[in-house]
Chains A and B, each alone.
Chain A
C-alpha cells in the first residue's frame, strides 16, 4: 500500500511516516498544501492522510481540487479542529474519514486499513486466494494453515497483489503502490521482490499463486493461470 501524508508539523510528519513505513507500506510526505496537491494529482495512492491547516493551500482546498478532478483516492482528514461544522465540511467536501489531534497512531493505522479495504470493496480483513490467507489486520500470511514469514516489503507487495486478485497488476502499478515516489525503485526491484514472494509462497506440493503475464504484469489467482 502506498499513502500520501500532507502535514506541516514536523514531529507528526516524522512519526506518522515512520509508523506507516514500519507497517511495510510506502509513504510520500509533503509539508505544504501546494506540494501535497501536486503529489496527489500526479501519483497513485491507496489513501491520503491530509492535515487541514496547511501553508500555501489548506486541506479543504486540496480536497475540493481532487474531487472536482474526479480523483477518488480515499482521504482521511487529520486536524486539531474538532468542531462539528469543520467535520461536516470536511466530510461533505469528499473526505472519507476524520481524526482529531491528538490521536493514537494505532487508530490511524486501523482507519487507513479500513479505508483501503473499502476502496477494494473487501470488508473482511482476511483476504483469501485459494488456500492463501492474508490477514491484513494482523499481517499474518498462511498457506494451508501454515504461517509464512515475510519481510515488511514482501508483505506490502503481497497485500497489494492479493487485493487485486483476479486482475492483472502491471509493474508500474506495483511500483506506484508499493514504493515511495522518490524511493528510486525500478521495475527490476519489483521482479526481484515478486521472486522472493514466490519462493516463500510457492511451497512444494502447493499450487502457484502469483502468475506472470508476459508483457502485462502479474496475476494473483488460485490454481494455474
Chain B
C-alpha cells in the first residue's frame, strides 16, 4: 500500500509537536515540582532547625524548651504537623501524633543537609519529613535555679523523666513532618497537563490535517491538470495557477517532458504521414499502369513494358519500406550492433558496383580517392546501408555526364556530386525525413527523402556524425561521414 503524504506529514508534525509538548511539559513540571518541593522542604528544614535550637543539653539531661509549657512544639497544627525528637540513644524525647514508628531518625541527614523522606501519615495522607542530626546547645555555666532543685525532676513531653548522662558531643535527632500539601496540586497539575496535552493534541492534529491538506492542495490541482491532458498531448502543457515554490520546478520539468513528447509525436506523425504520402505516388503508378494495360487487349511488348514499369515501381516501394523499417528499428532501439574491421577501399567499391549500370545510364563517372590502408572498426552492415543510400542519392541528383567522387582516409569518408539549384539553407534540411529540395516535385524522383535521414540515424548509432555542405566553387554537394 503506498504511503500517504498527507498522513505522513500530519503524523510526523503531530508526533513532533506532542514530543516537544511532552518534553516541555515534563521540563516545566519538573521545574515546578522541584521549586515547590524545595520551598516545602526548606520550610520543613527551617522548622526542624528552629525546633532544634529549642533543645539544649543540660547537666541533668535534655531540655526541650516547649515541653515546659506545652505538649506540642510551637506552630504545631494538629494532623498536619509532626515532630519527633530522639536522643542520642534512639530514645524518643518527644513525638507528636504517632510518627514514631517511621523511625525517621535512622535516616537522618546532617544539620546542614537534612534528609528528606516521603511517607504516609497515620491518617493515610501523604506526608513529607525532614530528618536531621543536630548537637543541641550546651552551656556548662548554667546554674540550677531553686525551682528545678526544689522540684527535683525534669519534665518531658512523654511524662517520663529522662535523666541521662550528658554527652555533649552526641547528636540528637529531630524529624519534622508535614502533610504533603504539594503532592495534590502537583497531581492535579499532572492530570491537567495530560488533559491539555490530549485536547491540544487533538486540536493540533485537526489543525495540522487541515493545514497540510491545504498545503498539499496544489498537488491535487497538479493531478487534475495532468488528468486534463488527453491522449493527443500535442501542444498541451500543464498550467498551475499560483504554484508553490516547490512545485514550480516539477511543473517546468513536466512541461519540458511534454514538449519532448510533442516533438516525438510530431516526428512520428511526420514519418507516418510522410510514408503514407510517399506511398501514394508509387501506388498510383502501379494502379495506373496495370489498369491501362488491362483495359484492352494488347501486344506482348505492351504487357512486358507494363510489367517492367511495375517492377521498377515495386523496387522503389521496397526501398522506401526497407529504409523505413530500418529507421523504426533504430528508433525503437531494437538493433544489434556488430563490430568488425571494415577495409574501406574494398568495401566501398563493392557497395558501389550495383550502381554502376544506373550511373552509366546517366553518363556519370566515378572517382576514387581512398587511402589503401583506411579501415574502420564498426558494424559493416550498417555502414553498407549508409553508403548504399549515399550512392543512390548522388546518382539521382547528379546531373548527367558529371562525376561522383568518393574519398576516404582516417579523417572520414566523403561522397561528392554536382548539385543543381541547392541553396546552403536547403542543405541544412537534407537529413530531415521526407525532405525534398524545394521546387523538386516529389513525384519526380523515386526517392522518398528517407535515405539521408536514415544515414544520419545510423551515423549516430555508430557513434559518428554525418554532415553535408555545398563546396564552392562549382556547387558540389558533399556529404562527410566521420566515425571515431
CB-defined contacts of A18 to chain B, threshold 8 Å? 292
B295 and A12: CB pair below 8 A?
no
Q: Tell which of A95-103, A171-179, A192-200, A215-223 binds the partner.
A: A95-103
Q: Does A167 contact B (CB under 8 A)?
A: no
Given contacts A51-B443, A53-B442, contact A80 B277 (CB under 8 A): yes
CB-defined contacts of A102 to chain B, threshold 8 Å? 280, 283-284, 286-288
Q: Does A105 contact B (CB under 8 A)?
A: yes
Interface string of B272-293 (1 = CB under 8 A from A): 0000010011011111110110
From A8, A14, A102, residue with most partner B Cβ within 10 Å: A102
State the CA gap A8–B295 with chains docked (Å): 23
Smallest CB gap from A31: residue in B: B444
Interface size class of A (residues with CB under 8 A): 20 to 34
Q: Does A150 contact B (CB under 8 A)?
A: no
Given contacts A80-B280, A102-B283, contact A7 B291 (CB under 8 A): no
Please provide the chain A residues from 1 to 60 with a CB less than 8 Å away from any CB of chain B in the complex.
7-9, 11-12, 14-16, 18-19, 22, 31-32, 51, 53-56, 58
Q: Does B338 contact A (CB under 8 A)?
A: no
B277 and A11: CB pair below 8 A?
no
Please provide the chain B residues from 301 to 326 with a CB less than 8 Å away from any CB of chain A in the complex.
309, 313
Please provide the chain A residues from 62 to 105 with a CB less than 8 Å away from any CB of chain B in the complex.
80-81, 100-105
State the CA gap A31–B440 with chains docked (Å): 11
Partner of B284, one of A22, A54, A80, A81: A80
Query: How many Å from the CB of B405 to the closest CB on chain A?
Result: 26
Given contacts A102-B283, A104-B287, contact A9 B277 (CB under 8 A): no
CB-defined contacts of A184 to chain B, threshold 8 Å? none
CB-defined contacts of B440 to chain A, threshold 8 Å? 55
Q: Does B70 contact A (CB under 8 A)?
A: no
A11 and B441: CB pair below 8 A?
no
B441 and A51: CB pair below 8 A?
yes
Q: Does B75 contact A (CB under 8 A)?
A: no
Q: Does A205 contact B (CB under 8 A)?
A: no
Q: Does B439 contact A (CB under 8 A)?
A: yes
Smallest CB gap from A81: residue in B: B277
B443 and A80: CB pair below 8 A?
yes
Q: Does A204 contact B (CB under 8 A)?
A: no
CB-defined contacts of A11 to chain B, threshold 8 Å? 285-286, 288-289, 309, 313
CB-defined contacts of B286 to chain A, threshold 8 Å? 11, 102
B287 and A103: CB pair below 8 A?
yes
Query: How many Å from the CB of A164 to the closest CB on chain B?
Result: 29
Please provide the chain B residues from 421 to 442 with a CB less than 8 Å away from any CB of chain A in the complex.
439-442
State the CA gap A189–B145 with chains docked (Å): 184
Partner of A12, one of B284, B296, B442: B284
Partner of A103, one of B284, B439, B443, B444: B284
B442 and A15: CB pair below 8 A?
no
Q: Does A183 contact B (CB under 8 A)?
A: no
Query: How many Å from the CB of B298 to the closest CB on chain A?
Result: 10
B441 and A53: CB pair below 8 A?
yes
Given contacts A19-B295, A22-B295, A105-B292, contact A8 B441 (CB under 8 A): yes
Partner of B280, one of A19, A58, A100: A100
Query: How many Å from the CB of A107 to the closest CB on chain B?
Result: 10
Task: Please report whether the interface of chain B is mostly helix, strand, loop or mixed according to DSSP.
Answer: helix
Given contacts A11-B289, A15-B289, A22-B295, contact A55 B284 (CB under 8 A): no
State the CA gap A101–B442 with chains docked (Å): 13
Partner of B443, one of A16, A22, A53: A53
CB-defined contacts of B439 to chain A, threshold 8 Å? 55-56
Interface string of B106-120 (1 = CB under 8 A from A): 000000000000000
Partner of B442, one of A31, A80, A100: A80
A104 and B291: CB pair below 8 A?
yes
State the CA gap A56–B74 with chains docked (Å): 130
CB-defined contacts of A12 to chain B, threshold 8 Å? 281, 284-285, 288, 443
State the CA gap A18–B291 with chains docked (Å): 11
Query: How many Å from the CB of A191 to the closest CB on chain B?
Result: 30
B280 and A101: CB pair below 8 A?
yes
CB-defined contacts of B277 to chain A, threshold 8 Å? 80-81
State the CA gap A211–B380 with chains docked (Å): 77
Query: How many Å from the CB of A144 to the closest CB on chain B?
Result: 29
A9 and B285: CB pair below 8 A?
yes
Query: How many Å from the CB of B266 to the closest CB on chain A?
Result: 16
Given contacts A80-B277, A80-B284, A104-B287, contact A55 B444 (CB under 8 A): yes
Smallest CB gap from B293: residue in A: A15
B292 and A101: CB pair below 8 A?
no
A54 and B289: CB pair below 8 A?
no
B291 and A105: CB pair below 8 A?
yes
State the CA gap A147–B443 with chains docked (Å): 43
State the CA gap A35–B310 with chains docked (Å): 27
B288 and A80: CB pair below 8 A?
no
CB-defined contacts of B291 to chain A, threshold 8 Å? 15, 19, 104-106
Query: How many Å from the CB of B438 to the closest CB on chain A?
Result: 10
Query: How many Å from the CB of A101 to the closest CB on chain B?
Result: 4
Smallest CB gap from B436: residue in A: A53
Partner of A8, one of B280, B296, B443: B443
State the CA gap A86–B287 with chains docked (Å): 23
Query: How many Å from the CB of B448 to the closest CB on chain A?
Result: 12
Smallest CB gap from A102: residue in B: B284
CB-defined contacts of A51 to chain B, threshold 8 Å? 441, 443
Query: How many Å from the CB of B36 to the closest CB on chain A?
Result: 91
Query: How many Å from the CB of B13 to the closest CB on chain A?
Result: 58
State the CA gap A80–B448 with chains docked (Å): 13
CB-defined contacts of B289 to chain A, threshold 8 Å? 11, 14-15
Query: How many Å from the CB of A49 to the closest CB on chain B?
Result: 12
Q: List 5 A-B contacts (CB under 8 A).
A: A12-B281, A53-B442, A55-B440, A81-B277, A102-B286
Please give 16 more A-B residue pairs, beta carbons under 8 A apart, in addition to A7-B443, A58-B441, A80-B443.
A9-B281, A12-B284, A12-B285, A15-B288, A15-B289, A15-B291, A18-B292, A19-B292, A51-B443, A53-B442, A55-B444, A80-B442, A101-B281, A101-B284, A102-B287, A106-B291
B binding-site residues for A, Cβ under 8 Å = 277, 280-281, 283-289, 291-292, 295-296, 309, 313, 439-444
A binding-site residues for B, Cβ under 8 Å = 7-9, 11-12, 14-16, 18-19, 22, 31-32, 51, 53-56, 58, 80-81, 100-106
The 7 A-B pairs of least Cβ separation, nearest first, read A9-B443, A11-B285, A102-B284, A15-B288, A101-B284, A8-B441, A80-B280
